[in-house]
A and B are shown apart, each in its own frame.
Chain A
Amino acid sequence: MSVIEPYLTIRGVTKRFGSFTALEAVDLDIYPGEFVSFLGPSGCGKTTLLRAISGLDVQSEGIIRQGGRDISELPVAQRDFGIVFQSYALFPNLKIKDNVAYGLVSTGRKRAEIAARVAELLALVGLADQADKYPSQLSGGQQQRIALARALALSPGLLLLDEPLSALDARVRARLRGEIRDLQKRLGITTIMVTHDQEEALTMSDRIVVMSHGRIEQIGTPDDVYGAPASPFVADFVGRMNFLDGHLSAPNQADCNGANLTFASATTYAANTPVTVCIRPEDVVVRGINGDAGNVFEADVGVMEFVGNHFTTMLHVRGTGLNVSADLSMNDVRDLGVRPGGSIRASLPIERLRVFATPRP
């Protein structure tokens, strides 16, 4: 197997608005056919990065190369991308077929050729029968699919999705996620999506770029980002997480409020370093615990919150000040007879713990 050249290369991209730095020296490679999501809270710089890639707001410094050519200084119209916005931005006074054909008309193709391409695109998004309607006659989800067809009309090398599903209601959003991802895989088009919705990023992406304060916090597959967050920020932003404060008692052990927690590999921090130990509530194990599993504790059951498919349960580790939130399935609760005020044996699996040095205040 030979080296795959990245399709999009971003090096040292910085964007300043006056004295405010929205992006700071961002480096990123995106490979052909990849679906990459920029994920982060508002103001993290994800949209700024997308706007730099599209040329709508060029970066202050740094280089962006697409398909081997430096596009940093090119105006929007000379770049090669299709874009879909949260607002759809469909032309309200043009029929669906004219919206989709909008970019084709000025390429000087023959009328029949354009009609055939429009039909092909509409079939692609499953709306072949809506060609003669106006955008306002379509539902939000349908409009967004039309916007997608329009963006794909010129077969761009890069597809940019700017919060494409945020304006839709939850049910439509979930369905469209799958449809967009399918379409993207079928066409093999390199795609970047900006989103603040972690579920969207986790379900759709090949890789996720988690951003905060104009910097990249982590680049990785959905699995990596969820299972092995690279920083407390990522751990906190993606999914729910227990943050247990303590200090190192051995290279691979930490004392958290009197409870000694062992982790899989030794840290490189000095002894006694203040650390934060992270474990996801759903990783706390309460059944099938055998003797040699690490970090096994007797715990008192505190507040139990019913959330539909599980109970978010507060466990007070007996004899210590350590409190851990655990997601207990309905089966666990039923079979083990868990109830507030009762007690239970719980394990914080060694390989599921993540340790970070606590940043100094």
Chain B
Amino acid sequence: MTTDSLTLPKLLPAPAAPRAVRQRMSRDDLTMRIVLSLLVLWLILTVLLPLSALLVKAFQDGEGHFAGFANFALYFANPQLTQSIANSIAVALASTLICVGLAFLYAYGLMRTCMPGRGVFRIVAQIPLLAPSLLPAISLVYLFGNQGLAKGALFGASVYGPIGIVMSEVFSAFPHALIIVITALATADARLYEAADALKASAWRTFWTVTIPGARYGLISAIFVVVTRVLTDFGAPKVIGGQFNVLATDIYKQVIGQQNFRMGAVVGLLLLIPAVLAFFVDQMLQRRQSAVLSARAVPFQPRPNRAIDLGFLIVCGLVALAIIVVIAVAFFASIATLWPYNMTPSLKNYDFDNVDGGGWESYRNSLRMAGLAALFGTSIVFLGAYLVEKTRAFAGGRAIYQFLALLPLAVPGLVLGLGYIFFFNAADNPLNVVYATMTILVMCTVAHFYSVAHLTALTALKQIDQEFETVSASLRVPFYRTFFRVTLPVCLPAVLEIVMYLFVNALTTVSAVVFIYAPQTTLASIAVLNMDDAGDVAPAAAMAMTLFLTAAVVRITYALATRRLLTLSQAWRFR
């Protein structure tokens, strides 16, 4: 037997022709693919089909026949309507210039100087996020309107029109621009500044050759975000626009006022253009921005400089003061007996049940809607992000989901809402049972805010170890157990962030739901609009304040609660 040890082990018979190996699908793979496919269907239903309905409508005549560009021809033949294009662009450009300029100064103060109170300034800048977009407009009416406190400050110009619109838009868009610019300025590499210093560059030259190039993608991105928001915002021009028509108010007038759905669809498509453009520019920039970042960058630490710190303290102080004044005026107007003649505090403006617009019932509806949207939206968003990140192979399905999840980023709320009417109100759509219910409001709101929530979830998922699923599979543990036992707990902070984001936005949104609410599902934000429309400006301010305070209380409770929750459930984070 000794020679046997030298014999080579029997070779396997070589396959006649190499056969391609296809891995059998495990039960996990199958489950994940099925669930992801269901989520794709859901997004098709709540995003793609309503949008397509809008698209189809714009090319149909009154009887539903294909009409080519007839509707567009009609639109462009009406100088009153086309004037709105110029108006919208003018307002958007002015607002963007002011808003991004202020955001840059503010962010520079926060990130690159040692001015005192940076923590407070950061918090104050977030305040506009909590207010419905109608609130600053109402507040500005109280400040600069016909009976305004500071009417003289406008030197005779009227706040009703472009001036008022620009001011409110700057207020609403400020935190959105700020967060982008802050991120851009946060990625500074101290080594570049030290090099500039060593080469004896002046502060001014360093600013233009190091700071601005480092932040340029962020600035461009902020510009596009603000332009899109202003072009598609409907609340401010509705309240303070007066006779100054813009595209967003045109849609509303065509659809609600004149029941001219086709013309509404045409304007909706026009509004889609800048949003889609901004979407693609942003995608492109993000790809470049990531190349700018280097893992070995040394974080920049600002050094105290009395003059600069004081200068930025004054600028940031003024901006923060303006934000606080806008909120404060709305608050005091809402609790004054009759602004500005009788300033005795009173709660009579909060007696919503005696004013048209939906009463307190609409507030309860809002809470319910926001709660449902947060609960349901977070579940579906996080599950979707998890599956898109972790499903093995299935590249096609994942790409489609990813596209559909980012699509809402390019769709203004008004346009989506309009699409919902066309799609869900169609007589031959079996899904039209949801029309005029709470369900459709929740569906639309979740769809409207889907992308940002999706990106938040995706970022969190990308930060955890990519091998958890492999380890689980090798230990023969099914994926859903790892999902609930590990992935979800580890991502809890991001999940709560998404809950918060959806809740606050659902509470304050107007544009996405203004077309699809029904008498029994009026929302508080819509009530603000309707009360203001009917001339009940003080109750409108009171309702807007109610929403603002609710959002603020929820946000603060959340901050305190999560701190406690995180220390309890996230003990593992601390050594």
Contacts and interface: CB of A to CB of B under 8 A. Distances in A.
A191 interface: no
Interface in B462-519: 465, 467-468, 470-478, 481, 485-486, 489-490
A93 B474 contact: no
Interface residues of B, number: 45
B471 A150 contact: yes
A14 B21 CA distance: 10
B486 A75 contact: no
B18 interface: yes
A290 interface: no
A137 interface: yes
Contacts of A94: 485-486, 572
A268 interface: no
B19 A73 contact: no
Nearest to B486: A91
Interface in B1-60: 1-2, 4-5, 7, 9-12, 14-15, 18-26, 28-29
Interface in A1-27: 1-6, 9, 11-12, 14
A39 to B, nearest CB: 22
A244 interface: no
A153 B475 contact: yes
Contact of B23 (A4, A55, A156): A55
Given A2-B4, A82-B474, A103-B477, A62 B572 contact: no
Nearest to B574: A136
Contacts of B23: 55, 58, 73-75
A276 B7 CA distance: 33
A77 B21 contact: no
A293 interface: no
B571 interface: yes
A3 to B, nearest CB: 6
A151 B572 contact: no
A330 interface: no
B572 A65 contact: no
Interface string A42-71: 000000000000111011111101000000
Interface string A99-128: 000110111000000000000000000000
Nearest to A56: B470
Nearest to B488: A93
A70 B483 CA distance: 30
Interface residues of A, number: 54
A329 interface: no
Contacts of A91: 468, 485-486, 490
A142 to B, nearest CB: 13
A95 to B, nearest CB: 8
A353 to B, nearest CB: 28
A4 B9 contact: yes
A73 B467 contact: no
Contacts of B485: 91, 94
B475 A154 contact: yes
Interface in A228-286: none
Contact of B474 (A5, A81, A135): A81
B570 interface: yes
Given A61-B18, A91-B486, A153-B475, 4 more contacts: A6-B9, A76-B473, A135-B572, A151-B471
Q: Which 6 A-B pairs have the closest CB atoms?
A: A103-B475, A75-B26, A89-B467, A134-B572, A76-B473, A61-B18
